[in-house]
Every structure is written in C-alpha cells, then in structure tokens.
Amino acid sequence: MKPEFLSIHPDVQSALDQGRPVVALESTIITHGMPYPANVRTAIEVEEIVRANGAVPATIAVIDGRIAVGLSTDALENLATASGVVKASGRDLAAVMTRGGSAGTTVSATMRIAALAGIRIFATGGVGGVHRGAQETFDVSADLVELGRTAVTVVCAGVKSILDIPLTLEYLETQRVPVIAAGSDDFPAFYTRSSGLKADHRLDTPEEMARAIAIHGQLGTGTGILIANPIPEADALDPAFIDGMIADAVAAATEQGIGRKELTPFLLARINELSGGTSLKANIALVKNNVALAARIAAALEA
C-alpha cells in the first residue's frame, strides 16, 4: 500500500504498472540550485530528454503538503516562483507536509520518495557530500547517509570541489555504496571530467549498468548505487578557471558563518555569480547528459 499523501501522476503510475522505464528527478535543483528562469526551463527540457530516451520522467516535490511524483508544467513554474518553498531533505518532509507547505526535495528526500513509489533510478546534477572542513563542522550531507540505506540508483556528474572529494569517497565506501564511473577510469568532479582520483569501478554501457543494478539488488545489500557520469568534453570547464572561484566561494561562506542547509545553495549561487553564469551553463549541460544516461539505463533495466 502506498501512503495516502503520495500523489503519483497518471503517466508515471501507468508506466510503473506496465513495467515501462521511469526516471525520478529531484526538485531542490529547481528551488535552490539554479536561478529563475533557467531553473524552470531546465526542468522542462530535462523531462523532454528523458522522454526522448525512452523513459517517463517523474519530477518529485512537496506541493501544498502532499508529495507529488510527476509534476505538470504549471506546478513546476509555481514551485520555481512561489515564496516560502523550503529545501527538504528526507528528515524535513513530515514537518513541511504537516503544515501544508511546499518544498524542493534534495537527493536524500527524492531517493526516499522514489523508493516508496517503486522507482529504481534517479538523475540529478550533483549529490551532496562531505564538505571541506567537515573535520571541524561535521557537515556531511544526508544524501550520503540515504545512499547507504535506500536501494535507488543515482546518476550524477560526480562531486563538486566545493566538497572534500576524497572524504566523500571514503564515506561512500564506509556506507557500502558502489561508485561506478560511466565510461571513465576517473571519478568526475562535476564541472570537470576528472577529480584526479580513480573511480572504484568503470562501466561503459547502459546495459552493463542496468545489469550491475540488477545484481546489486539481488545481493540484498539494501544500499543505493552512485553512477558518476563525466560532463561532456565540450561543456567541461577549465579547472584553473573554476577552482579559484570555488575557493573564493568557500572562503566567503566561512567568513559569513553560513552553515547547515544554507551552505550548498549559498556556494552554488556564489560560484554562478563569480563565473558570470559560466558555471550555470555547465551545470545545465551536465544535468541533461545525466538524465539521458539514466533514461537509457532505466530502459535497459526494463528490457
């Protein structure tokens, strides 16, 4: 039985009922990750790319106290423009829903909801991770904890260097989360194709990835899988260009005492500002690349 607070869009429900491929999409990227109107435009285009690659998109958000799995264009537009929309990780959902609020769902919340709805694969830009300075701040994203206990595959473009990438990979190892780079030996760093660190595993085709997901599921580990898909060559940023801006953004956050759930949105906005929109362009390109891969994996999973 699905909880009564879950509103699954008819297109998504019929795909699930008929065993057709579905890809979940998060919404914090819309509410807190990108500025308006690029956020709505991207959300709409990304759904089209999922469809073009043979799957049904299911963008997930909290709308007026209920969880929506699959959003109309109007709902997307409202979510992107309404005031008081919160950033909800899994732990925030109950309180936001109780007061009838609306929220963008982070990777952790979206994974939880996808699992409830029976969706096995989910695509986004970047996942949260272990922040730089976590030795002092303890700032480790709930995304990593959720990956350690919810059996949903997340396709991302690796981890941004606003985070401590080596510590993030250590944490995923402890949590028993398989980390697979798509068509690359290196673990990607969001804006760039390599973080300078090797990925644990490399798989090259959506069919292989679907097979790994199926085997991992049968092993009963109960953990998610992280598929790290490098940004396309043509859209990748020069590390020399972006790394300095990331360092400046992190320094500004520390100076201004930004912490907890405000930190990631602050850093994203700051980097966008400092780069004159170049980081946003790369972000949009890599999200599109990720949803296309996720749709092809979803199709291979159902084949």
What residues are annotated to the active site?
26, 160
Q: Tell which positions 250-269 bind ligand PSU, by CB under 6 A.
A: 261, 264, 268
Site stretch for Mn ion (CB under 5 A), options 27-35, 133-141, 157-165, 182-190: 133-141
- With respect to ligand PSU, which residue has the nearer C-beta, 8 or 154? 154
139 binds Mn ion, rule: CB under 5 A: yes
140 contact partners, CB below 8 Å, separation of at least 6: 129, 130, 131, 134, 171
Name the minimum Å distance from CB 219 to ligand PSU.
Answer: 26
Site stretch for ligand PSU (CB under 6 A), options 123-131, 165-173, 174-182, 235-243: 123-131
- With respect to ligand PSU, which residue has the nearer C-beta, 13 or 110? 110
Phi, psi for 118 (deg, rounded to 5)? 85, 25
Name the minimum Å distance from CB 226 to ligand PSU.
Answer: 12
73-81 and 38-52 helices, crossing angle to 10°: 150
Helix/strand/coil percentages in the chain, nearest 5: 50, 20, 30
Question: What, of Mn ion, ligand PSU, none, does residue 132 touch, CB below 5 to 8 Å by kind?
Answer: none
DSSP string, 141-206: -HHHHHHTT---EEEE-B--TTB-HHHHHHHHHHTT--EEEES-SEEEETTEEEEEEE-SEEE-SH
Q: What is the DSSP code (8-state) at residue 246?
A: H
Q: Which helix (H) or strand (E) holds 46?
A: helix 38-52
Name the minimum Å distance from CB 211 to ligand PSU.
Answer: 27
Q: Of 51, 40, 106, 104, whose CA–CA distance to 77 is shortest?
A: 40
Name the minimum Å distance from CB 111 to ligand PSU.
Answer: 9
Q: Tell which positions 19-58 bind ligand PSU, by CB under 6 A.
A: 26, 28-29, 33
231 binds ligand PSU, rule: CB under 6 A: no
Q: Of 98, 29, 38, 37, whose CA–CA distance to 60 is shortest?
A: 29
Name the minimum Å distance from CB 142 to ligand PSU.
Answer: 6
The residues of the shown chain that bind ligand PSU, judged by CB under 6 A, are 26, 28-29, 33, 106-107, 125-128, 141-143, 160, 261, 264, 268
The residues of the shown chain that bind Mn ion, judged by CB under 5 A, are 139
